[in-house]
Amino acid sequence: MPPALFVALPALDEYDFLPKTLDSIAAQHTSAKFEVFVCVNQPDSYWHNPDKKEVCHNNAKTLHFLNNYEKLTLHIIDKCSPGLGWENKKSGVGFARKILMDTILGKCSCDDIIISLDADTLLEPTYFQSVYDNFTVNRHINAISVPYYHKIDGCSEENARAVLRYEIYMRNYLINLLKIKSPYSFTALGSAIAVKACALSKIGGITPYQSGEDFYLLQKIAKMGGLSIFNTDCVYPSPRVSNRVPFGTGPAVGMGISGGWESYPVYHHSAFAPIGEAYCNLRRLYDNEPGAEKNMFLEFVAKRSRNTGVWMGIRGNVTDYQHFEKAFHQKADGLRILQFVRARHSEQGLSDEASLLDNLRLWFPGRKLTSDHFNFKTSPVDEINHLRDSLFMEEMRLRGANR
């Protein structure tokens, strides 16, 4: 029996955006059967908070809309009505995704595919078919970190400038990882993930966090193996400002409009160089050659692990190099990479523009993608958009080379 598709769609304060997303789903041209699960959610305490009444009413309207939506048969999970919302600290999009995916796992078969979306994400009519074909043709795939693209049509200049700046931050980070061939080369967006049901079950389902659950899900898949970053179609997340989650596109755009980019710097390629060197010297590390452990990234991971003999310990617990390599990447994972790069960036003290221009010279030799005086605050939006598009094309090329 061919696999079916199951869509997991969390919604909080999404009445103005969810209808377009559902219409986008209803317009899918696919040979695969698919079912859509929507979880309208909020903390139950919102009903007793005057500052959150608008969210409560928005969710109530969303529930009414969903119950009367005729283009699709929907499975609706009500975690927003009085007495049904999240209790205590168990709230947020991570818990919404968990209840959605756990519900789907209870209904689907092992080979079925779960598509994670957000309630303000738009799709090409061929998106579901592209995901279905990707999994059925490439049997080794357990999950896909799907390409994405923020459309800025209709955005104000400050909104467009901020979302482009955020997207350049993400693309710069991923391209750097792809250049050093890191197994953690992925971008974690909850609206741009597809995962095989049996793989999700094998890793124990999604771990609920108020935000960041998408990163930890993909990291678990990367450690297990079978994470693909290539897909012929991409998704189109919303470029809007939002404060529904602690971090991610919505809050980043909001902070960026106010000038708060400290959490989203543009990293210089040299910050990734010690990681690439460590990868290249893994065989020497396994063979315990003198000086093999003298590497900034290896020393950083050992210090964070509170075990200066971590590599010797791994070496003593494996029978061959292949198992050592796998154990190394289990320890030196995506979180450690991000922590190391952030620390290196802080030490370097480079501006975002200086880092970016150096990276562009390295990646696009002979091409002039920006003016010599490029600045995220003052350069024309068209120039920033052109730069974003150039990075998007380079990223897609690298994604394709790594499938």
Mean pLDDT within 278-288: 96
Q: Where are the domains of the chain?
A: 5-148+187-233, 271-338
Mean pLDDT within 398-403: 88
CB 355 within 8 A of CB 267: yes
pLDDT band at 256 (very low <50, low <70, confident <90, very high): low
CA–CA dist 295, 272 (Å, integer): 12
225-234, 252-261, 298-307: which range is least confident on average? 252-261
pLDDT band at 308 (very low <50, low <70, confident <90, very high): confident
CA–CA dist 299, 281 (Å, integer): 14
Domain 5-148+187-233 has CATH 3.40.1010.20: no
What pLDDT does 257 receive? 61
What pLDDT does 209 receive? 74
Give bridge partners of residue 40 from the DSSP assignment. 11, 78
Considering the chain, what is the average pLDDT of its residues? 93
pLDDT digits (tens, 9 = 90+) for 337-387: 999 999 999 999 999 999 999 999 999 999 999 988 999 999 999 999 999
